[in-house]
């Protein structure tokens, strides 16, 4: 493998994982960003990655029993200091660096409708090619390849697919949420 693998990788990739659309694209500092799309029937459609969602409470309790991980979200990192960890998508889903995006369009300008959740590979300890001339690679910096980003995107897709089954269990909650979005208030 070359010492500059980003020079031989593509800049964009689209695929399907666990029945969900996924997009990988380069971010502003040339590190990978990954996105997974959910449709309107999904429990988390229209929910920001930092929004409290009571329906995620059971998953949060399961998450608390697991190791913190290699690159956890900011919410998980702060929890020991604040004493609180709310049931948010960012706290529940395990993906490199935590969720850093939720919105109507994925990076790379895809026009597919839906709601996207995303992450990036430009965190402490990550080598970002676009910053390498300012912050040279050292022993504590790792470039996250397209293969790594694809596996993280697939891991996020698996978790989003798992939570999709909760919609039936939380039908009453979702009917309230749907009415708020349909009314244009967009609040939960």
Query: Would residue 139 count as lying in a domain?
Result: yes
User: HSE-up of 6 (CA within 13 Å, CB side)?
Assistant: 19
Per-residue confidence (pLDDT) for residue 118, from 0 to 100: 95
In a domain, 188, yes or no: no
What pLDDT score was predicted for residue 137?
Answer: 62
| Segment 129-185, tens digit of pLDDT | 888 766 666 667 888 999 999 999 999 999 999 887 655 444 434 443 344 334 443
Q: Is residue 122 part of a domain?
A: yes
176 lies in a domain? yes
The total number of structural domains in the chain stands at: 1
Let me know if residue 142 belongs to a domain. yes
pLDDT per residue over 47-101, tens digit each?
Answer: 999 999 999 998 888 888 887 777 778 888 888 888 888 999 999 999 999 999 9
Which of the four pLDDT bands, split at 50, 70 and 90, describes residue 186? Answer: very low
Mean pLDDT of 5-28: 93
Residue 187 resides in a domain: no
Within a domain: 54? yes
As a three-state string, the secondary structure of the chain is CCCCHHHCCCCEEEEEECCEEEEEEECCCCCEEEEEEECCCCCCCCCCCCCCCHHHHHHHHHHHCCCCCCCCCHHHHHHHHHCCCCCCHHHHCCCCCCCCEEECCCHHHCCCCCEEEEEECCCCCECCHHHCCCCCCCCCCECCCHHHHHHHHHHHHHHHHHHHCHHHHCHHHHHHHHHHHHCCCCCC
pLDDT at 63: 82
Which domain range does residue 79 map to?
5-182
16 in a structural domain: yes
Whole-number pLDDT of residue 188? 29
Query: For position 15, what pLDDT does the model report?
Result: 95
The pLDDT of residue 176 is 38
Local confidence band at 108 (pLDDT 50, 70, 90 cut-offs): low
Q: What is the mean pLDDT of residues 24-36?
A: 92
């Amino acid at each position: 493998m070359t010492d500059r693998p980003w020079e031989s990788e593509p800049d964009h990739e689209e695929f399907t994982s666990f029945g969900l659309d996924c997009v990988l694209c380069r971010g502003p500092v040339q590190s990978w960003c990954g996105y997974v799309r959910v449709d309107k029937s999904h429990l988390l459609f229209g929910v920001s990655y930092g929004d409290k969602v009571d329906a995620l409470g059971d998953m949060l309790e399961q998450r608390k029993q697991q190791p913190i991980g290699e690159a956890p979200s900011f919410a998980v990192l702060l929890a020991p200091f604040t004493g609180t960890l709310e049931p948010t998508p960012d706290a529940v889903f395990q993906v490199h660096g935590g969720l850093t995006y939720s919105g109507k369009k994925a990076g790379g300008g895809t026009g597919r409708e839906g709601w996207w959740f995303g992450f990036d590979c430009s965190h402490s300890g990550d080598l970002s090619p676009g910053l390498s001339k300012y912050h040279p690679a050292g022993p504590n910096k790792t470039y996250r390849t397209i293969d790594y980003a694809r596996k993280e995107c697939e891991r996020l897709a698996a978790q989003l697919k798992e939570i999709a089954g909760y919609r039936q269990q939380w039908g009453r909650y979702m009917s309230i949420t749907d009415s708020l979005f349909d009314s244009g208030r967009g609040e939960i």
